[in-house]
Amino acid sequence: MINTGRKSLTRVVSPVAVLALTLLFALSAHAAAPGITGPTFNLTAQPASISQPDGQTIYSWGYGCNGAPTGFAPRPKGADLANANCPTMQIPGPTLIVTEGQTVVVNLTNNLPTSAGNTSILFPGFQVTPSGGVAGLMTQEAVPGGTVTYTFTASTPGTRAYYSGTQGDLQVEMGLYGAVIVLPASVPSVCNGGLSAANLAVEAIHGESDFRLSASAYDHPKTCYDREYLFQFSEMDPRIHSQALAQVTALAGCVAGAPGCSLSVATEPYHPAYFLINGRSMPDDMDPNYALEYPHQPYNGNPHMHPGEQVLLRVVGQGRWQHPFHEHANHVRILGRDGNLILSQTNPAANLAGPLLFTTTTTPGLAMDGIFYWTAKGLNWDAYGHNPTSASANAKLPCVPDANGYNTGAAAYGAINYYEWCQDHNKPLQVAPFGDVASGGPVTLPDSNILTNGAWYGGSPYLGKDATTRAVGTSGTTPPAGTVANPPSAEAGFAFMWHSHNEREITTNNAFPGGMMMMMLVDSREFVIDESN
């Protein structure tokens, strides 16, 4: 069982079990793609310390807001996300949200320690006009205490990285990076109808709000989506940060440009011990956005979704290494990279040509947008635990297939099995108690009387409210869900581990679990996914 309470992860089961039927628990969602809106942004670069799950605080540098931002996003029903703020230093830096065609102005003030020297920001993929500051190797730079301005047109939609263009081996490592999201100026009309409209109608029936930044990722009818998340991957070598702090402390009060008033931090050999998603490590990344315990790490990584929803993943590599991140339960269909939509050569107006990825490998500086979804299609057993002999009305819900085989008719909008794959409706999970696959699978459930399977088993393998109680009898023999994490009457969703396929990167300072790991939760429709924080 994996208990999603604060910093509690007691036992990890096999990948096959994760995929099929385990790790079931209830948790309110805390994720979206939060950021600040422009098109003018007043930023500062300055130091602070961030926290890690092993109890360490790491001296770092980061971008933040130099005064109150123009606004925050998303703003469902006209209200900011709970506790939304933009501190003067955060890792990653504020997500800059603009609209295609806008003229974007970024004013950067250098409030780093004097000995850190100049700093700057690069905006790859945009034609940038810098002003002020002094000439640097790659762009105009802000001297200690000074300001530099960058102006560019948000030319095309999509997700991109921004990061320091000054002594990048040190300044990016210290935390000077962030993301730019450009929203399409013209959303294709189909994205306000069809699948998206149906999913939004179902969400509204159950009281959910729309937390999307837009209805489409690009100016293309094949880029509609229902939900979105931004993940920025990076790593930290604490030795570099400790050296920087020691030298900054020793040089406190020195005069900019004076002999000896500069850092000389060795950035090689490189041995990162912390692996971050949006500036946090597992399990901290599953706490809410803007959680008060992380004043300089406001963004989380905790994706939730309902079956059939098209989920836009905005993925950015912000560190020095590649990170092979694997999204369990399905592949990710890539839409575009660095704001460049990948189109079919034969019919670009109608078709995309992005690859289907098993891992979204995050190359340093590369951003990509992709679509993920999950429907339970192909499991060959009823994920909703229907049982006509059960007393529960939810166990008798019908499944009327649409043209694609899913339960999406208007009559299904209020049901927990909206978007059920009807071919598997009423199929038992296990025919023979304590049997094997050959005798009546397709899944062999653990014996709840065996301690290692019973007490540690996550509960019902079914999706939806009262999942265990309505599925007993002919639908299978599930272990009783009587734990605190999974009482029989509580919501039961599927949890899939999303994690780096580099084993060291799912540790925090060599302790497992940690690092680049999170749980993606698939909840049935009656469970309200609250992304307000």
Give the pLDDT of residue 438: 52
Distance CA 193, CA 146 (A): 49
50: pLDDT strictly greater than 60:
yes
**pLDDT reported for residue 394:** 85
Instruction: List pLDDT tens digits, range 205-232.
Output: 888 888 999 999 999 999 999 999 999 9
Q: Tell me what pLDDT residue 251 has.
A: 97
Q: CA-CA distance, 116 to 165, in Å (whole number)?
A: 14
Answer yes or no: is pLDDT of 7 > 60. no
What is the DSSP track for 410-443? GGGTTSTTTT-BGGGTT--S-SSTT--HHHH-S-
The string of pLDDT tens digits covering residues 95-118 is: 999 999 999 999 999 999 999 999
For residues 371 and 303, is the Cβ–Cβ distance under 8 A? Answer: no
State the Cα–Cα distance between residues 82 and 72, nearest whole angstrom: 11
* Domain termination site, one of 184, 200, 235: 184
pLDDT at 370: 97
Distance between start and end Cα atoms, the chain:
26
Q: Which is more confidently placed, 388 or 21?
A: 388
Residue 531 lies in a domain: no
Is 177 found in the same domain as 43? yes
The proportion of the chain whose per-residue pLDDT surpasses 70, expressed as a percent, equals: 84
Question: Is residue 71 located within the same domain as residue 131?
Answer: yes
Helix ranges, 217-292 (H): 238-250
pLDDT for residue 60: 98
Domain closes at, from 184, 215, 244: 184
Within-domain flag for 155: yes
Across residues 411-436, what is the average pLDDT?
A: 80
User: Alpha-carbon dihedral of residues 453, 459, 460, 466, nearest 10 degrees?
Assistant: 150
Which residue, 492, 511, 528, sits at the end of a domain?
492
Contact in structure between 127 and 171 (CB atoms under 8 Å): no
| Token code pair at residue 343 | 């189109």
- 459 part of a folded domain: yes
Residues 1 and 123 in one domain: no
Q: CATH number of the domain at 158, please.
A: 2.60.40.420
Total count of domains within the chain: 2
pTM: 0.89
Does pLDDT of 5 surpass 90? no
107 and 41 within one domain:
yes
Phi then psi dihedrals of residue 158, to 5 deg: 125, 180
| Shared-domain flag, residues 44 and 179 | yes
Q: Judge whether residue 282 has pLDDT over 70.
A: yes
Confidence check: pLDDT of 476 > 50: no
Q: Which two tokens stand for residue 191?
A: 């994205």
With contact defined as beta carbons under 8 Å apart, do 59 and 241 qualify? yes
Are residues 26 and 39 part of one domain? no
* Residue 230: C-alpha distances to residues 180, 489, 506 (Å): 10, 33, 19
Flag whether pLDDT at 484 surpasses 80.
Answer: no
List strand residue ranges (DSSP E) for 100-242, in order.
Answer: 103-110, 129-132, 134-135, 140-141, 147-153, 158-163, 177-183, 227-236
| Rounded CA separation 454/475 (Å) | 19
pLDDT band, residue 472 (cuts 50/70/90): low
Q: Look at residues 357, 195, 169, 362 and name the one whose alpha carbon lies nearest to residue 267.
A: 169
Is residue 18 over pLDDT 60? no
415 in a domain, yes or no? Answer: yes
pLDDT at residue number 195: 59
pLDDT by residue (tens digit) across 326-379? 999 999 999 999 999 999 988 888 889 999 999 999 999 999 999 999 999 988
The span from the CA of 525 to the CA of 179, in Å, is 31
Mean pLDDT of 483-501: 74
With a pLDDT cut of 90, the percent of the chain lying above it is: 65
The β-bridge relationship of strands 494-500 and 517-522 is: antiparallel
Write the CB contacts of 115 (distance below 8 Å, at least 6 apart in sequence): 247, 248, 251, 252, 254, 261, 262, 263
Domain membership of residue 526 (yes or no) is no
In a shared domain, residues 69 and 180: yes
State how far the Cα of 322 lies from the Cα of 318, in Å rounded to an integer. 9
Range of the domain at 438: 1-30+380-492
Residue 495, pLDDT > 90, answer: no
User: What pLDDT score was predicted for residue 206?
Assistant: 85
Q: In this structure, are 58 and 16 located in the same domain?
A: no
CA-to-CA distance for 462 and 437, rounded, in angstroms? 18
pLDDT of residue 458: 52
Helix boundaries (H) for 128-223: 168-174, 194-205
Q: Is 151 found in the same domain as 175?
A: yes
Question: Are 410 and 457 part of one and the same domain?
Answer: yes
> DSSP character for 283?
T
Please indicate, yes or no, whether residues 124 and 93 belong to a single structural domain of this protein: yes
The single-letter DSSP state of residue 75 is -
384 is a domain residue? yes
pLDDT band at 9 (very low <50, low <70, confident <90, very high): very low
C-alpha atoms less than 13 angstroms from C-alpha of 157 in its C-beta half-sphere: 22
Residue 118 lies in a domain: yes
Q: How confident is the model at residue 21 (pLDDT cuts 50, 70, 90)?
A: very low
Mean residue pLDDT across the chain:
86
Beta bridge partners, 313, equal 229, 370
In the block, tokens 């040509």 appear at 353
Residue 91: pLDDT over 50: yes
Q: How many residues are given for the chain?
A: 533
Is there a contact between 116 and 248 (Cβ–Cβ < 8 Å)? yes
- What's the token pair of residue 313? 């993943």
Residue 158 within any structural domain of the chain: yes
Residue 529: what pLDDT? 87
Are 15 and 86 part of one and the same domain?
Answer: no
